[in-house]
Amino acid sequence: MGDGSHSAPLTLFLELEDGKSVNLESAARIALAWNDLIVEIFAILDPDAVVRIDLIDAVEGSLRFRSIVRAVSRVAKQNPLLAGAIGAIVGIFFRTPVEDAASLFWKAVYEAVGEVSNPDPTSPERVEFDKKVQIAQRDNVANRQKRQLFVELEREPVIVGAGAFPSHTVKPPIVLPRSEFVTRTGIISVSNETIQRRTTTRRMNVILLTAKLEPKKLMWRFADDAGEPFSAKMTDPKFIQALEEGRTGSDLKIGLMMDIELETKQESVSGFWSDKASSVTHVHSPTLPPAGAREPQFFDDE
């Protein structure tokens, strides 16, 4: 593509009981959890990428949530395998065990972006992909999103297996059985009980890890005062406008201390509250210069 974007197919495959189907509410919750997982993985493994996930359709019988993953960034221009590689990495979360995950997915990565497979394990692309696989397998990578996806899968009793693969036509070579869903959630059991929802707002000091400098509502990465990383969508309209006008009041780089208001939507099942989505509704600092006071651009594009 002329704009440097690259795309790849990615399917969440659900194996169902014979003659059964997933109800609409369950399918919607699973689709949202799937979306959150993909977005978070991209935010961690390629902070420069802008990601779009389109749910194409869901095929009954075995339910397939078929998505298109697009990477549009400086990195994507340099590495056309990016979208396929990270799409494959999402599938690794369904492997058990995880050994040799890179070898299993490597051919599919090339096919996903229309390239001929390079079997050389020492090639720069393969080495880089292997590094990303190792990062993706760490417990603290998208941990909340991984758990939530398996919570939603466990909650729907007709689902007997699940897997993911960078293809819209090929069944994943490994389908995780239902018996392992609860283990992946980190919760002893999940039942279909009434879900409570609430929204909390708190003011907090954070450390900026990754800023999305486009004037849009995009996911940013921060660390809280305990050093724990998290993602939140930047929704403060004044700050987004300041991005567009080049007057953010400071150099937006890793390590910048920020004072923000964080709004978090939560759900509770059996008294256990879990975070579903977070957004920065107001940036108190850095303080924005008044409109019209355009500042020099600090951002290094190298």
Same domain membership, residue 103 and residue 81: yes
Same domain membership, residue 155 and residue 23: yes
Q: What angle do CA 258, 264, 270 make, to 5 degrees?
A: 145
Q: Are the C-beta atoms of residues 266 and 208 closer than 8 Å to each other?
A: no
Same domain membership, residue 166 and residue 226: no
Same domain membership, residue 162 and residue 50: yes
Burial of 106 (0-12, 13-18, 19+ CB in 10 A): buried
Residue 83 placed within a domain: yes
Same domain membership, residue 176 and residue 203: no
Q: In terms of pLDDT, which residue wins out, 169 or 1?
A: 169
In terms of average pLDDT, the best of 33-42, 44-53, 97-106, 158-167 is 158-167
Same domain membership, residue 159 and residue 11: yes
Same domain membership, residue 154 and residue 19: yes
Task: Using pLDDT thresholds of 50, 70 and 90, give the confidence band for residue 182.
Answer: confident
Residue 292 placed within a domain: no
What is the extent of the structural domain holding 33?
5-185
Indicate the residue type of 267: E
For the beta carbon of residue 243, count every other beta carbon within 10 angstroms.
20
Alpha helix segments (H runs only) across the chain: 24-45, 74-78, 82-92, 101-112, 124-136, 143-155, 181-185, 237-245
Closest CA to 166 of 80, 76, 84, 50: 84
Same domain membership, residue 129 and residue 13: yes
Is the per-residue pLDDT at 255 higher than 60?
A: yes
Strand pairing partners for 9? 68
Residue 102 placed within a domain: yes
Residue 294 placed within a domain: no
Token pair of 222 as six digits: 């921060």
Q: Give the pLDDT score at 121.
A: 67
219-245 pLDDT, tens digit each: 999 999 888 889 999 999 999 999 998
Same domain membership, residue 127 and residue 77: yes
Token pair of 299 as six digits: 């951002």
Q: Give the pLDDT score at 53.
A: 62
Residue 110 to residue 282: CA distance in whole angstroms: 42
In this structure, are strands 63-72 and 229-234 parallel, antiparallel, or unpaired? unpaired
Residue 296 placed within a domain: no
Q: Give the pLDDT score at 246.
A: 87
Number of domains in the chain: 2
Burial of 55 (0-12, 13-18, 19+ CB in 10 A): middle
Token pair of 95 as six digits: 């492997």
Through-space distance between the first and last CA atoms of the chain, rounded to whole angstroms: 22
State the DSSP code for 16: E
Same domain membership, residue 213 and residue 177: no
Q: In terms of pLDDT, which residue wins out, 188 or 175?
A: 175
Last residue of a domain, one of 160, 185, 210: 185
Closest CA to 184 of 139, 229, 228: 139
Residue 123 to residue 130: CA distance in whole angstroms: 11
Residue 301 placed within a domain: no
Token pair of 186 as six digits: 């980190």
Task: Using pLDDT thresholds of 50, 70 and 90, give the confidence band for residue 297.
Answer: very low
Q: At what angle do helices 82-92 and 124-136 cross, to 10 degrees?
A: 40
Same domain membership, residue 266 and residue 167: no
Residue 259 placed within a domain: yes
Dmax over CA atoms of the chain, in Å, equals 65
Place of tokens 């720069």: 124
Q: Give the pLDDT score at 125.
A: 66
Task: Using pLDDT thresholds of 50, 70 and 90, give the confidence band for residue 86.
Answer: low
127-152 pLDDT, tens digit each: 766 676 666 666 666 778 888 888 88
Statement: the pTM of the whole predicted model exceeds 0.75: no
Residue 42 to residue 142: CA distance in whole angstroms: 10
For position 271, which CATH number holds? 2.40.50
Last residue of a domain, one of 152, 185, 218: 185
Residue 93 placed within a domain: yes
Is the per-residue pLDDT at 124 higher than 80?
A: no
Same domain membership, residue 223 and residue 154: no
Q: Give the torsion through C-alpha atoms of 52, 75, 149, 94, to 10 deg.
A: 130
